[in-house]
Amino acid sequence: MTLYRATVVDTPANPFTEEPAAALRVEQDGAVLVRDGVIAARGPYAEVRASYPDEPVEHLTEGLLLPGFVDTHVHYPQVRAMGGLGRPLLDWLHQYALPEEARLAEVSYADAVAVQFLDHLARAGTTSALVFGAHFAPAMDTFFTRAEASGLNITAGLVLGDRLLRDELHTTPERALAESHELIRRWHGRGRLQYAVTPRFSLSSTDALLEVCTELMRPIAGGEAVPVRFTSHINENTAEVAAVAALFPGARDYLDSYDRHGLVTDRSVFAHNVHASDLELTRMAEAGAWAAHCPTSNSALGSGLFPLRRHVEHGVGVALGSDVGAGTGMFVGKEGLQAYFMQQLLGAAGLPLTPVHLLYLATSAGAHALGRQERTGDLSVGKDFDAVWLCPPPGSELATNLAVADDAVDALARVFALGGPADVAQVYAAGRPLHTRRASDDAATRARSGRSESGDSHRPTASHEPTQD
Ligand code: GUN
Ligand code: ZN
């Protein structure tokens, strides 16, 4: 067992339905006791230490210990396609994203991309993700192999499309069914992995392909105990919405192109939903489907301003996604800041967000969207120890600001305003340390700032080597 001493901050309740102050839980000098990757006890450090006087202590006493971030929309094959600014969605797809995605036909390339992708997730403090996969089954096999080894909580699936992409990315309904079934059989429910049926979007899916998705969503007789999940894109860009309306003349709206196939469920996460109608929001709420809000992507592609207030008023659950490569990096904290900006820019139509809302959107909300709320999303006893220790390098703007923060809410505000992957000092996935900022870097910055190491036991930064370096 290990006892982590830290300022522990999480959101076990929903600040959109409860008072934000009541949704936040703070242990200023707190402790989390971890046994076999699971949180066995938590509380004020003095109390927990008194109950467990012999356990080793790791001092994470500067900065904040938060639940690991949950990214509910991120594309594995696009980790090398970030930064393509200046184009709207359909242009961007054809110029930037799809040519890169075609390269994953070669499994050695796909494998190298998978390693990079998972490493970047961990370095960004993300411990759970709903990952948009590749169009190639061998690329997904290699991805799941690497994801299992990473220790991260990953839900992903083979991406399906049978029109309007690039020829080499197209499948057929028959092939989609066979390859997806095989991947589900091999990977769904194995360790921390789950499978998500993933048509790219209705624009690139015929009704026959969407019907295959319906088939894949049905539990296999004698097969998986936990049903597979579903994800796709929706209502991202006005030209895309118009094209979908033309391709599905019988559908009431974009959501209905999925709904007619039974794909709008409480296991469904739809990315973007910037241009949602009230009817669509009503139907999503009724079904318990979630929206993945991806603000940096929406701004980068000029997709529009996300109607968060209307989602909340309709009772649709919203979590955050980085949408890399259209998004501008994997740090979900940045998505929180951009979500806050977007609501500010919407004026009266916006929903003002507090730091508590941002933490909830970046952690617990995502765990619910993935159906993993019993295991992750906050640091409650009985859950997996999925956590990120945000501790800025000495001398950074965030360090300067955390040092004068009034309280935990103020500290959280400064983390969302100023934080980035460079402030991720340590990440734990089910108790396993995944990423440690280089001890030598910290030693250098500490020396520059004239501080010395202290405490009655080692600092993790001095005790673990970086992973995958
Ligand atoms: N819609 C269909 N494919 C994509 C994609 O790769 N990125 C985004 N942002 N939207 C999409
Ligand atoms: Zn996307």
Q: Is 297 in the pocket of ligand 1 (CB under 6 A)?
A: yes
Q: Is 89 in the pocket of ligand 1 (CB under 6 A)?
A: yes
For residue 455, cis peptide bond before it (omega within 30 degrees of 0): no
Model confidence at 21, in pLDDT bands (50, 70, 90)? confident
Question: To test the ligand 1 pocket, which listed residue (89, 94, 170) has its Cβ within 8 A of the most ligand atoms?
Answer: 89
CA of 415 to the centre of ligand 1 (A): 29
Of residues 131, 134, 256, the one with CA closest to residue 202? 256
CATH 3.20.20.140, the chain: domain bounds? 69-345
pLDDT tens, 130-189? Answer: 999 999 999 999 999 999 999 999 999 999 999 999 999 999 999 999 999 999 999 999
Q: Which atom of ligand 1 is nearest to the CA of 101?
A: 6
CATH 2.30.40.10, the chain: domain bounds? 2-67+381-463
- Ligand 2 is a single-atom ion; what residues have CB below 5 A from it? 271, 323
Please state, in angstroms and as integers, the Cα–Cα distance from residue 298 to each residue in 233, 276, 460, 463, following that order: 12, 14, 37, 40
Q: And the tokens for 4?
A: 């982590």
Which pLDDT belongs to residue 456? 36
pLDDT of 440 > 70? The answer is: no
pLDDT of 2 > 90? The answer is: yes
DSSP 55-85: S-EEEEEEEEEEEPEEEEEEEGGGTT-TT--
Residue 332, amino acid: V
Q: Is 201 in the pocket of ligand 1 (CB under 6 A)?
A: yes
Q: Which atom of ligand 1 is nearest to the CA of 236?
A: 10
Please state, in angstroms and as integers, the Cα–Cα distance from residue 118 to each residue in 126, 171, 269, 304, 339, following that order: 9, 26, 21, 29, 24
Q: Which CATH number applies to 69-345?
A: 3.20.20.140
pLDDT tens, 400-410? Answer: 999 999 999 99
CA of 93 to the centre of ligand 1 (A): 7
Would you tell me how many other CB atoms lie within 10 Å of the CB of residue 349?
A: 12
pTM metric for this prediction: 0.94
Lateral strand order in the sheet of 432-436 = 38-44, 25-35, 2-10, 57-67, 387-390, 424-429, 432-436
Residue 23, amino acid: A
Domain 2-67+381-463 maps to which CATH number in 2.60.40.3500, 2.30.40.10, 3.40.50.150, 3.40.50.300? 2.30.40.10
CB burial readout 130-168, b (16+ within 10 A) else e = bbbbbbbbebbbbbbebbeebbbbbbbbbbbbbebbeee
- The strand ranges marked E within 242-398 are 268-272, 290-293, 317-320, 387-390
